[in-house]
Amino acid sequence: MNVIDLRSDTVTKPTAVMLKAMSSAEVGDDVYGEDPTVRNLEAMAAQIMGKQAGLLVTSGTMGNLVAALTHTNKGNEVLLEADSHIYYYEVGGLAAVGGLMPRPIQGDKGSISVRVLRDALRPANIHFPRPSLLCLENTHNRAGGTVMPPQAVAEVASYAREQGLKVHLDGARIFNAAIALGVEAPELADKCDSVMFCLSKGLGAPVGSLLVGDSDFIAQARKWRKMLGGGMRQAGVIAAAGLIALEQMRERLAEDHDHAKLLAAGLAAIPKLTLDLANVQTNIVVVKLDPSLSTPAILAELAQNGVLASDFGPDLLRFVTHKDVSRQDIEDALAIIARVSR
Ligand code: TLP
Does 141 sit in the ligand 1 pocket, CB within 6 Å? Answer: yes
Distance of CA 120 to the CA centre of its chain: 24
Does 61 sit in the ligand 1 pocket, CB within 6 Å? Answer: yes
pTM for the whole structure: 0.98
* Cis amide linkage into residue 146, ω under 30° from 0: no
Phi and psi torsions of 149, nearest 5°: -65, 160
Three-class DSSP labels, 306-319: CEECEEEECCEEEE
- CA distances to 81, 89, 107, 152, 160 from 119, rounded to whole Å, are 14, 25, 12, 17, 12
256-280, pLDDT tens digit by residue? 999 999 999 999 999 999 999 999 9
Ligand 1 nearest-atom number relative to CA 209: 22
Domain ranges of the chain: 13-248, 252-340
Q: By the 8 A CB rule, do 50 and 58 touch? A: no
Q: What CATH number was assigned to the domain covering residues 252-340?
A: 3.90.1150.10
Beta bridge partners of 137: 170
The Cα–Cα gap between 210 and 253 comes to: 18
3 state SS of 138: coil
13-248 against 252-340: fold identical: no
Domain 13-248 has CATH 3.40.640.10: yes
Q: Which of 139, 103, 102 has its CA nearest to residue 279? A: 139
Q: By the 8 A CB rule, do 293 and 341 touch? A: yes
pLDDT for 1 beyond 90: no
Does 321 sit in the ligand 1 pocket, CB within 6 Å? Answer: no
Does 85 sit in the ligand 1 pocket, CB within 6 Å? Answer: yes
The Cα–Cα gap between 181 and 253 comes to: 12
Element containing residue 169 per DSSP (H, E): strand 166-170
50-91, pLDDT tens digit by residue? 999 999 999 999 999 999 999 999 999 999 999 999 999 999
What rounded mean pLDDT belongs to the chain? 98
125-158, pLDDT tens digit by residue? 999 999 999 999 999 999 999 999 999 999 999 9
Mean pLDDT of 17-22: 98
125 CA to centre of ligand 1 in angstroms: 35
101 CA to centre of ligand 1 in angstroms: 21
99-133, pLDDT tens digit by residue? 999 999 999 999 999 999 999 999 999 999 999 99
The Cα–Cα gap between 263 and 234 comes to: 41
Task: State the burial class of residue 330 (Cβ atoms within 10 Å of its Cβ: 0-12, 13-18, 19+).
Answer: buried
Does 84 sit in the ligand 1 pocket, CB within 6 Å? Answer: no
Does 81 sit in the ligand 1 pocket, CB within 6 Å? Answer: no
Amino acid in the structure at residue 293:
L
The Cα–Cα gap between 284 and 3 comes to: 18
Q: By the 8 A CB rule, do 144 and 285 touch? A: yes
